[in-house]
A and B are shown apart, each in its own frame.
Chain A
Amino acid sequence: MADDKSVEAKVKTEEEKGRLRSGLKEGIEAVKGLYDSYAVTAKHLFRKPITEQYPEDKRKLPARSRARIILTRDPEGQERCVACYLCSGVCPVSCISMQSAEREDGRRYAQWFRINFSRCIFCGLCEEACPTLAIQLTSDFEICRRDLLELVYEKEDLLTDHGGKNETYDFYRHAGVSVKGDKGEHIGERPPVNVKTNLP
C-alpha cells in the first residue's frame, strides 16, 4: 500500500513537473511571440511606404481593367451592337436597358441603349456575354458625378469610333444571315443549295 502511495506521489510529482515544464515552455513561447511581433512592426516603421498618391501619381491600368463601358464599332465603322439583350439579361444589377429594332438593310441594331452607371457594379459579365464584342469595359474609372442623372449614359455617350480590344472581328462576316453578303458568302460557307435541280 505504502509503495502504491509513494508511486502515486511520484507519478504526481512527475506530472506536476511536466505541467510546469510545459507551462514554462508556453510562457517562453508567448514572450518570444510578443517580441517577434513587436519586432516585425518596428521593422516596418522604417520601410518605405508602398502608398501611391492617387491624383498626382496615376498608374497605367491594365487593358482588362473593368471600368466605364463603351460600345465599339466593327472594322467598317458600323455599330457592332445587335441589341441581342444578352448583356441586359446577364446584368446582375439590371443597369442595361435597350430596344432592338431592324434597320432598313435588315441589320439588327439598338434603337436606344442605356447604361445606368450609378447602378453598374463593373462586374464585366456584359462584356463576357457579348457575342459581337460590341460592349467592352475600359480602364477609365474616373466617372464620378455629383448628379446621378449624369451617370445615365445613352447610346451616343457609349458609342466609340474604334473597335476596342479587337479591331478585326465582324459578327456579320461569320453569322449566316444575309445582312453583309449573300448566303454562302460568309466565312466558312458553301454556296446556297439550289432547290430546283435534281443533280446530286
Chain B
Amino acid sequence: MPLLTIDNMDIEVPRGTKVIDAAEQLGIMIPRFCYHKALGPAVGACRLCAVKFMEGPVKGIQMSCMVEAADGMKVSTTDPEAVDFRRHVIEWLMMNHPHDCPVCDEGGHCLLQDETVSSAHSLRRFPGLKRTYRNQDIGPFLRHEMNRCIHCYRCVRYYQEITGYRDLGAMQLASRVYFGRFEEGPLESPFSGNLIELCPTGVFTDKPSRFRARRWDLQRAETLCIHCSMGCNIIANVRYREVIRIEPRYNSEINGYFICDRGRYGFSYVNHESRPRMAQVDGQNLTTAEALRKTAARISDVAQGEGPSAIAALLSPRSSLETLASLSHLAKSRKWKTVSGIFDPGRRSRIRSAVQHLHSDTAISMQDLKNRDFILVLGADPLNDAPMLVLALRQAWRSGAKIAVMDPRPIFLTFDFDHLPATPGEMRACMGAILDSAFEGEKVADEKGAAFLDSLESSSGNEGAHAEMPHRIDAIAEALKKSQRPAIVCGTDMAAEGTGTLAADTVRFLRSRNQEAALLYLMNYPNAFGQTLLEDSDTLTFEACLEEIEEGRIKALLIAEADPFFHYPDRPRLEKALEKLDLLALFDYLPSGTAEKADHFLPTSTLFESSGSYVNHEGRIQRFHPVYEGGTPMLQINDGDHPPRVYDTDGVPGGDPRPADRLIAELGQVLSGDGEVFSDDPWKNLTADIAPFFKYRHLDAPPENVRILPDESSVFEGNREPQSDGDAEAEGLQIIYTEWIFGTEELAAFSKTLRPAEKEPFVCLHSDDAAPLGIGQNDPVRIDFGGDCVLESRAKLFDRMARGVLVIPRHYRLDWKISGRFGGRARIERLRETPGSPSPLEREEQ
C-alpha cells in the first residue's frame, strides 16, 4: 500500500492506483479529458492532468493518469509550473476550436468549456487558420461535429474496447486525426449513446434533444430505466413538461457508467401525442374524481350482483411495487381474484421458478459478471433480452473469461464465445453433456449432486443432433472444469419449462464442488420480480382468467398499467372475452389497444412523474423519484408558438394523470366508504401482506439497493421430466417468439425517438431449413399457423442458429397476435409475388 502526499495531504492507496485516482479520493479533482475510470488503462492523450512531482521516484511535470502511486511521492497539483502547463494545454487545444458554443448542445455542461474557463483562457492568441473537418451523418441518435474535437480518444476507446464494435475509429495522423466511420452511416453499436457523455466536448451530441435546452434549464431527477429487467440507473431531463433526454447514472452494481440505446431513447412514450390524459367513462371525458366514483359504483354493482369473486385485478410486471401493492391489497381486502399480468403462462412459471431459485448466496449483479472466469448464458440472447448484459459479458471476456451461449437464436456478440444452438427442448441434454464431459469419472462427494448428474445423463438422449456441437461442448466443459468463479445467466423468455431449475441445480452442483458459482436470471419485464412476489397461490393465469370471463364467472376486470392486446397471442378471443365483461377498468398512461376498449379509463402518471420502486431481475429494490409534475408538453399545446400569455388557475394542462398507486388507494377508500378504514400506504400493505418484505416492517419507505432474497439456497429441485420441443411429429417448424432489442418492447413501441433504429419485422430460420422451401435471404414469406391464421413477413437466414425452429421477434408492427398460441409449430412458405402487383408487404411499405 503506497503512501503518498498530494497537496500536503497524505493518502494510502492500493498498489497500482494512478495518482489521478489517489487525488480524487482526497477530493482533489485533477482536470482531465482522456482519462475515464470506465475506459480502463489510461492513454495520456490529452496532457491535461499534468501535476508536479516534487519528491519520489519520478520528478517534475508528469501526467497524473499515467503515473502509478508510489511510496514517498510528493505531488503538487497547484504548483505554478503545473498550472502553467495545464493552461498551455488548454490554449493549444482551443487553437482549432470553432467557437460555436452558442449553437452547441454541449455548452453548459461541456468539460472543455469548464476547463477553458477555469484556466482563464479567454482570448485566442494564435493568429493562424483553424483546422476543419467534414462531419458525418452517424445515425438517428448522434450528431457528429468534428471541428470541436480535442483528440482525447475516449470515443474510440469506448466504442472499440468497451462495446467491441469496430465501425467507429480513428483515421489519419498527426494533427489531422479524425474520429468517425470510414463511410457515413448509422453507428452499429446499440450502446452508441454513451459517446455523448464520454466526449468531453461537443463532437457527439444528442440528436433527439438537439437544440432543445441548456443543462441549467432542465428539471433533472434520479430515476430508473424500465425497458428491461436490469433496472439500470438513469437521470431524466425534462424541459417544459417534456422528457427530452435520458442520461446514465452511475451505479457500481448494475449499469456502471453506461446504458443502452433502448433505455436512452425509449423515453418518448411519455410525450406521446395521443397519450390519454383525461379520465374516460364509456367514452366520456370526466374528472378523475368523478370517474373514480363511477368506477367504484360499477364495481359495487358487480360485487352485489355476482359476488366479489366476479371481480378480478390484473397485476402487471410493468407497474411499480407500490402500484402492485395497492392493487393486490385492495383485491385481497375485498376478496377479489388476482390475475397474473405475465400473459404467457410458460414465461410466468419460468419467472416464478427464477424468483424461487434466486438466493442471496448465489445471486450476483450485472457488474459482478466482470469478475467471473466462465459464463454460460442459458436460453437467452444477451443483446436482445438485456442489452447491457453484453457490455458486462464483454468486460468479463476482456479479462479472460470464457463465454458460452446456449440458445437457438442466431446470437451476435462483439467478442469470442461458444454458441450452442440448442432448441429449448435440447438444452437440458446439452447441459447434461457439458457436465458429463467436464466431470466424467470424477467422484461426486455430494449424494444429491450425483443424483442430479444421473438425472441429466438419463435425459441426454438426443444429443449430437448437430455435427459441430460435440467439440464445442468439450471446450466449454474444459473451461467450466477449470473455472474458479463460474456464472450462469439464464433467460426466462423462451427457454423450456424447467430450464430455470436446471440452471439453479447446476449452480448448486458447482458450488458443491467448491466452485464459486453464481446465478443471474433475465426477466424482460421491469418489475417481473416484484410482481411475482405479490402473486399468491390463488392468482389466476391470464388464460384461466379469460376462461372464467368466457364462462361468465368474472364480470369485472381491473387492469393497472398492462396491455393484454400487446402481449396476448389470440386477439379475436381476447376481444370477444373482454366484451363479455360488465366492467373493464384500466389505469394506464399508454394509448394502448386496451385503452381503446376499456369501459373506464383512468390516466396514470409515468415513472417520470411519480415516485416508487422497482425490483430488478436480481431482486434488488431500487427507487425512482419524480422528475416533473406532469402535464401536456408545452410544444404540444401551443404548437411551437409562444406559450399562453395568461394562465388559468386550474392547474397544469393535461395534469390529470396521477400515480396509479394513489388512484387505486383512492378507489379503495371510495369503495370502503361506510366506516371501514382502507390503508392507503402501499409500503405498509406490502410489509403486512408479503413475506419477503416482513423484515422491512420498521421502515417508512422501501429500502434502497437491497436484495429481497431468501438467505440460503434450498436443496436440489431436480426436475426430472424430459424436455421436449412439443409435438415433434407435427409438420412445420417450432415457433419461438423472442424479444428483439428494438421493436418488441412495449414502452419503446410508443416511443417515437426509437423509431429510426427499429428494423422492419422479420423472422429467422436456419438456412438448411430454408433451402428445401426455396426461401432465400430477405424473401417475403407466409407463415401458416393452421386454421386461417396466416402471417406475412420477411425471412432472414442464418447458419448459426438451431435447426427446426422459426424465431419470430414479437415486433409490434408484426401482426403475430393472430397466431393464437405462445408457441407451437407453423408451416412457412415463400410468398409468391404476382408480377406487376406489389406484395402486401411492399404495399405496406409504400
Contacts and interface: CB of A to CB of B under 8 A. Distances in A.
Nearest to A184: B132
A89 B216 contact: yes
Contacts of B240: 99
Contact of B99 (A84, A155, A175): A175
B751 to A, nearest CB: 20
Contacts of B774: none
20 contacts: A84-B101, A85-B108, A85-B213, A101-B211, A111-B641, A112-B640, A114-B643, A131-B102, A154-B642, A155-B642, A174-B99, A175-B102, A176-B98, A177-B98, A178-B135, A183-B133, A189-B130, A190-B131, A192-B134, A196-B171
A114 B634 CA distance: 14
B635 interface: yes
Contact of A176 (B147, B217, B643): B147
A142 to B, nearest CB: 22
Given A84-B102, A176-B130, A192-B132, A99 B635 contact: yes
Contacts of B180: 195
Interface in A144-200: 149, 152, 154-155, 171, 174-179, 183-184, 186, 188-193, 195-196
A85 B147 contact: no
Interface in B209-234: 210-214, 216-217
- The CB with the most chain A CB atoms within 10 A, among B103, B108, B131, B217, is that of B103
B37 interface: no
B646 interface: yes
Contact of B210 (A102, A114, A149, A191): A102
A102 B210 CA distance: 8
Given A101-B640, A152-B645, A195-B176, A85 B132 contact: no
Contact of A149 (B107, B135, B638, B646): B646
A111 B642 CA distance: 8
A183 B135 CA distance: 9
Interface in B87-145: 98-104, 107-108, 129-135, 145
B183 to A, nearest CB: 10
Interface in B623-660: 634-635, 638, 640-643, 645-646
B130 A171 contact: no
Nearest to A196: B171
B220 to A, nearest CB: 16
B211 A102 contact: yes
B134 A177 contact: no
Interface in A87-110: 88-89, 97, 99-102, 108
A155 B147 CA distance: 32
B132 A190 contact: yes
A72 to B, nearest CB: 15
A83 B211 contact: yes
Interface size class of A (residues with CB under 8 A): 35 or more
A101 B102 CA distance: 13
Contacts of A101: 211-212, 640
B8 interface: no
B336 to A, nearest CB: 47
Interface of A: 82-86, 88-89, 97, 99-102, 108, 111-112, 114, 131-132, 149, 152, 154-155, 171, 174-179, 183-184, 186, 188-193, 195-196
A108 B103 contact: yes
A183 B144 CA distance: 13
A89 B216 CA distance: 8
B137 to A, nearest CB: 12
A58 B130 CA distance: 50
Contacts of A114: 642-643
A114 B240 CA distance: 15
A193 B102 contact: no
Given A82-B102, A177-B147, A195 B217 contact: no
B131 to A, nearest CB: 6
Contacts of B134: 183, 192
B834 interface: no
Interface in B54-102: 98-102
For the complex of A and B, list the 4 residue pairs with the smallest distance between their C-beta atoms, beginning with the closest.
A176-B98, A84-B102, A175-B100, A112-B642
Nearest to A101: B211
B172 interface: yes
Nearest to A131: B102
A84 B131 contact: no
B265 interface: no
B130 A188 contact: yes
A86 B645 CA distance: 23
Contacts of A171: 102
B103 A82 contact: yes
